[in-house]
Amino acid sequence: MHTGKRTALYTAVILVFLALTCFASILLGSRRVPFHFLIDLITGKDRTSLEAAVLLRRVPRTVFGLLAGAALGVSGALMQAITKNPVADPSILGVNTGASLFVVCGISFLHITTASQYIWLALAGAGLTAVLVYGIASLGNGGATPLKLVLAGSAASVALGSLVSTVMLPNSNVMNSFRFWQVGSIGGATWDSIMLMLPFLAVGLVLAFVMAPFLNTLLLGDEMAAGLGVNPGVVRGLSALSGIVLCGATTALAGPIGFVGLMVPHVLRMCLGSDLRRLIPLSALTGAVLLLFSDIIGRLIGYPGETEAGIVMAMIGAPVFIAIVRKVRIRSL
């Protein structure tokens, strides 16, 4: 089947799944709500019952899950394109852990308590970690090769994770504030947190879409791209900024959720090719569906409580990551 037809077919299928997961996210959970209550809420017939209250509580959670999943999917696509590494994503490269370290330091030493403070600290941590990992990988012969980036990211993630534990463990108050955030969850989403995250996601996504054709040119090689009038350093820098903003803002409010940015763009690239103009929007849609699906599964298997989406995502992502590593050689895309 022609790539264009495959893309159209996949887009139609993922949009159907997107609608289904949205309805399931609103209706399913520790208390299942029949569909007619949702219709009554939409039409204004019922806004006072317990079922209506449950539905109103789940709507921002669903919206936040869509936004967070889209941000992580696009961030992974950008990082894989920038590093020319099919197993790159925010968690593999240590960016999530850097954001976590700055947040826990802010809780411990600066006594921060608000989501807006979390976001700025997470963005700073994610950005500095990205610079650190790239700097380490650039040392020695060959520069920042895909394999060296993965190794540097893994080493940085372990080291920064140890620092997180060092800061957190002696202080029980910090541990209590941090431990629920650490596993990654969208359960605490509110309209306020959504409105806080929206400007960062808007900037990151717009920048990602603008950079998509230039990233396609970089796939031809830096020399060819420069000959076509593209500055490889500027394109990589702006694309990295987009990925860091998307990942950092999401991590600040949802915690370090891994594997979405790894699996989604990698599978899409295998099926639909490496054109970033298709890959970025489809990564956003697929990432949204995958994270929301993980949240729904967590609510069902954890009944009457819930299992956080980050844990479910790890259960899904770990075997997929192993399969990717076994089948794919780390090379240029």
Q: Which residues neighbour 73 within 8 Å (Cβ) at sequence distance 6 or greater?
A: 260, 261, 264, 265, 283, 284, 285, 286, 287, 288, 290
Place 331 in a pLDDT band, splitting at 50, 70 and 90: very low
Side-chain-facing half-sphere of 161: CA atoms under 13 Å: 15
Residue 322 belongs to domain spanning: 60-327
Q: Do 94 and 129 touch, CB atoms closer than 8 A?
A: yes
- pLDDT at residue 279 in the model: 93
Cα–Cα distance for residue pair 265/103, rounded to 1 Å: 27
What is the residue-wise DSSP string for 197-220? HHHHHHHHHHHHHHHHHHHHHHTT
Kindly state the DSSP code that residue 259 receives in the 8-state scheme: S
Please write the tens of the pLDDT for every residue from 85-101. Answer: 777 777 777 888 888 88
Cα–Cα distance for residue pair 14/251, rounded to 1 Å: 24
Structural domain count of the chain: 1
Please write the tens of the pLDDT for every residue from 168-226. Answer: 777 666 666 566 566 778 887 888 889 989 999 999 999 999 999 999 998 888 788 88
Return the residue matching tokens 């820098």.
Answer: 237
| Residue 293 located in a structural domain | yes
Cα–Cα distance for residue pair 83/85, rounded to 1 Å: 5
Cα–Cα distance for residue pair 313/295, rounded to 1 Å: 8
The rounded radius of gyration (Å) of the Cα atoms in the chain is 20
| Residue 209 located in a structural domain | yes
Instruction: Give the tokens for residue 176.
Output: 């209590």
| Residue 283 located in a structural domain | yes
| Residue 128 located in a structural domain | yes
Q: What is the pTM of this model?
A: 0.86
- pLDDT at residue 13 in the model: 94
| Residue 84 located in a structural domain | yes
Alpha-carbon distances, residue 208 vs 16, 73, 211, 307 (angstroms): 25, 11, 5, 32
Kindly state the DSSP code that residue 29 receives in the 8-state scheme: S
| Residue 34 located in a structural domain | no
Q: Is 8 helix (H, G, I), strand (E, B) or coil?
A: helix
Cβ neighbour number for residue 124 with a 10 Å cutoff: 17
| Residue 136 located in a structural domain | yes
Please write the tens of the pLDDT for every residue from 286-318. Answer: 999 999 999 999 988 877 778 888 888 888 877
Instruction: Give the tokens for residue 60.
Output: 């921002």
- pLDDT at residue 66 in the model: 95
CA dihedral 11, 17, 21, 27 (to 10 degrees): 130
Cα–Cα distance for residue pair 68/73, rounded to 1 Å: 9
| Residue 252 located in a structural domain | yes
The average pLDDT across 130-149 equals 77
The enclosing domain of 160 has a CATH number of 1.10.3470.10
